[in-house]
Amino acid sequence: MSGSARPTYVLTVDCPDGPGLIHAVSGFLFERSGNILELQQYENHREGRFFQRIEFEVLGDVPAERLREEFAEVAERYRMHWQLRAADAPCRILIMVSKDGHCLNDLLFRWRSGGLQIDVPLIVSNHRDLEQLAASYDVPFQHLPVTGATKADAEARLLDLVEAEQIDLVVLARYMQILSDDLCTRLAGRAINIHHSFLPSFKGAKPYHQAFDRGVKLVGATAHYVTGALDEGPIIEQDVLRVDHRASVEDMVAAGRDVEAQVLSRAVRWHAQTRILLNGHKTVVFR
């Protein structure tokens, strides 16, 4: 952020590429005494689409709602998908977990230490193993057990919580349940998952043990938006750590936990800062 007391906003734009787009947006800001603090853009020439993220400040007390109303005419003219929000507004996230707490603990620590622009009003889990961890950060914990018979009811309850808590983003921080196609559709573009990058080679239980048995030399993680296609949603961030023949299974598991936590936190940070735009089955990430 600029450190200025002036209202600061973020505007993101996704639309068909063509002449006049940059002038239309920058001209709109100029007419309202907007001062651009950060500007990034990307032209996807192959698919003919234009993406832009602008962080700007304005003179005087100009509410976001007024800017949205006035920008709507520009957006309609150029067939824009767009979003305008206060730059310092925290993203309200609901974290879902099962039994592994490394990603949850990392997110909560970064949040409490000021490293993430988020609020965490609720943690949801299908087990009670991490209830004390949630309590240590003074975050409400909701136990939602899931079986074949209760899955539909549990997902309906989850959607009720998302609405009641005004959640902007659902984060699956090692939540080991497959979401239904309907729930994935309802949360499209606002649910992020993290998993190891041994897929599709090593599926199912104990993937690190399978990787160890095959002598894998790279341990990685992938953060992506959730879709009905299991673990195939638009990728936000990936990273790897190199291991060698000396690494034990325990070493590989520890390395995997580290990289999973780091990759997930980056994906959440960029989403919270409105730095990610969907580009079909891919993403544009303005870091």
Question: What's the distance, Cα to Cα, between the start and end of the chain in Å?
Answer: 14
Both tokens assigned to 84: 């305008």
Distance CA 269, CA 263 (A): 10
Task: State the catalytic residue, choosing from 231, 239, 251, 258.
Answer: 231
Nearest one of 162, 186, 181 to 95, comparing CA atoms: 162
Query: In whole angstroms, what separates CA 274 from the centre of its chain?
Result: 9
Pairing of strands 118-125, 141-143: parallel
Distance CA 71, CA 59 (A): 17
Alpha helix (H) ranges present in 32-101? 64-77
Strands laid side by side in the 235-242 sheet: 141-143, 118-125, 91-97, 169-172, 191-196, 218-225, 235-242
Distance CA 10, CA 53 (A): 7
Active site residue 231: yes
- Amino acid at the residue 162: V
State yes or no: cis peptide before 200, omega within 30 of 0.
yes
Mention every residue, 6+ apart, whose C-beta is less than 8 A from residue 201: 210, 211, 214
Distance CA 107, CA 105 (A): 6
Residues in the chain: 287
- So which residues are the catalytic ones? 231
